[in-house]
Amino acid sequence: MAVVSLQARCVFLGAPGAGKGTQAKRVAEAVRLAHISTGDMLREEVAAGSELGRQAKSFMDGGKLVPDDVIIRMVQDRIRKPDARAAWILDGFPRTLPQAEALDRSLSGAAALTHVIYFAVPEAVLVGRLSGRRTCSKCGAIWHVENQPTKKPGVCDRCGGELLQRSDDRPEAIGKRLEVYRSQTSPLLAYYRDRKVLREIDANRSPDVVYKELLKLMQ
């Protein structure tokens, strides 16, 4: 069911917990495009104990953004890889104006962004989503203790892996992440609105309803 253009080059924009990762994984499984999540890439670096992971960990655990130069280099390298030549979803990037400007400079003409989709969710809902999120340590599937529970608590329905809570889903870090979103990332809405590529989706509905509307927007 490949309803999404294979030339799609999308940005999923929204606050922490808005459902960007949940929907990006689902779209990327349904159609052939690369799901590029800067959060997942950084968590892999942390797990591998790399130099980049060591640098990034304290920013991430404190709910702060990793410095722009580090992130921009990481994304530029990633979108040059063969699997990302035709189509991709950027999930969690850009989230500052310098990152958005760097992305614009990296893309030009026919390779420009095709969609920027803003996942709108009230802040009060986000806190509940983040504090109840659980992620599979083996396959990366995203669950929620109430909204999307697994059949057996703590065990992934897909692969049987152990479910873990992200270290930045603690209350202190959640508050900081929402504050950082308001001050540093929300200005991107005006940036992309001015460029007439912004589309908004009411993401405070069930994941299935959001997914169907997302596919329509991306066609």
Q: Amino acid identity, residue 19?
A: G
Token look-up 């396959």 returns 139
* Burial (CB count within 10 angstroms: exposed 0-12, middle 13-18, buried 19+), residue 140: middle
Q: Residues 4, 65, 84, 117: which binds ligand AP5 (CB under 6 A)?
A: 65
* Residue 71 binds ligand AP5, judged by CB under 6 A: yes
Catalytic residue among 26, 95, 129, 134: 95
DSSP string covering 133-181:
EEEETTT--EEETTTB--SSTTB-TTT-PBEE--GGGSHHHHHHHHHHI
Minimum CB distance to ligand AP5 smaller for 6 or for 171: 171
177 is annotated as an active-site residue: yes
Catalytic residue among 9, 20, 26, 134: 20
Cβ-proximal residues to 24 (8 Å cutoff; 6+ apart), any chain:
12, 35, 37, 89, 91
Q: Residues 104, 157, 207, 213: which binds ligand AP5 (CB under 6 A)?
A: 207
20 is annotated as an active-site residue: yes
Catalytic residue among 26, 43, 133, 134: 133
What phi and psi, each to the nearest 5 degrees, are found at residue 127? -60, -45
Q: Which stretch binds ligand AP5 (CB under 6 A): 44-52, 106-114, 130-138, 152-160?
A: 130-138
* Residue 45 binds ligand AP5, judged by CB under 6 A: no
Taking a C-beta distance cutoff of 8 angstroms, is the pair 201, 216 a contact? no
* Residue 10 binds ligand AP5, judged by CB under 6 A: no
54 is annotated as an active-site residue: no
Q: Residues 34, 79, 93, 100: which binds ligand AP5 (CB under 6 A)?
A: 93
* Residue 133 binds ligand AP5, judged by CB under 6 A: yes
